[in-house]
Amino acid sequence: MPTGLPKANSSVAPDDQGWLWTQIKAEARRDAELEPALASYLYSTILSHSSLVRSLSFHLGNKLCSSTLLSTLLYDLFLNAFSFDPSLCSAAVADLRAARERDPACVSYSHCLLNYKGFLACQAHRVAHLLWRQSRQPLALALHSRIADVFAVDIHPAARIGKGILFDHATGVVVGETAVIGNNVSILHHVTLGGTGKVGGDRHPKIGDGVLIGAGATILGNIKIGEGAKVGAGSVVLIDVPPQTTAVGNPARLVGGKEKPSKHEDVPGESMDHTSFISEWSDYII
């Protein structure tokens, strides 16, 4: 696996970021007209800001603040992080697109920006990870704690996450310290990417590009989930899963068998196809 942050296949162009921000503001204006009770909220979180970065920094600061961790301090922290590392903004744009394209419940980009705790937790984690790489571990861990408290998403600041990520529903997601998540991955609620004991070192899963992990799945140890693989809901995975295959059950088994597992051609992390394997799962009986 790479030693640095995972890289997306292509970066998000500045004009794409500009288009998305224009779209978000248009959605906010529409919603403010349709629902006047939200007008002040939409103005303060979106319409009063000059860029996506400023809006996101303001919103995260207000979401994660406490009586001793002030929103103004957090706003400056997030804004400085986004300014220092522009890839954080391009990742946020890719994540917004992922939610809008993959989740039929996502009615607009502004809806995701304001209300999707999986999206918000992921963006805050990216800042915590930047702090961790800058050897500012106490602040990174404090931010990590607030993210877990507020969003019920527990991602260690050292964990590395790519772009185009969808944490769908997100409640109860746990990602360990040495975990790596590739690009265009979709993970549902109550998924654990954990270790197998108290031994240190590289001990958490490595998730390839385009992977789909169903709700309640548990993946443990320094194992690889291959590019384009699918892990069914409720599965417990303890060994490597080959690329483009489906692992289901407790303990997880490969659909089609270990020797010649069935392969799929789509990218599950993007198609969000959770159940097509059922036709090939001979033990599935009701």
- Per residue in 273-286, pLDDT (tens digit) is 988 777 666 666 55
Whether the predicted pLDDT of 96 surpasses 60 = yes
Q: What is the mean pLDDT of residues 263-269?
A: 91
Instruction: Please name the amino acid found at residue 19.
Output: W
Cα four-point dihedral sign 101, 103, 104, 107: negative
Q: What is the pLDDT of residue 134?
A: 97
Q: Specify the 3-state DSSP secondary structure of 275.
A: coil
Q: What is the mean pLDDT of residues 41-55?
A: 98
Whether the predicted pLDDT of 42 surpasses 90 = yes
Q: Which two tokens stand for residue 18?
A: 């500009």
DSSP state of 45: I
| Residue 114 banded pLDDT, cuts 50, 70, 90 | very high
Model pTM? 0.91
* Beta-sheet strand order (sheet of 154-155): 154-155, 174-175, 192-194, 218-220, 236-237
Give the domains, in start order, of the chain with CATH numbers.
Answer: 1-153 (1.10.3130.10), 185-286 (2.160.10.10)
For residue 205, say if its preceding peptide bond is cis, omega within 30 degrees of 0. no
Residue 230's DSSP bridge partners are 212, 246
Q: Rounded to whole angstroms, how far apart are CA atoms 39 and 37?
A: 6
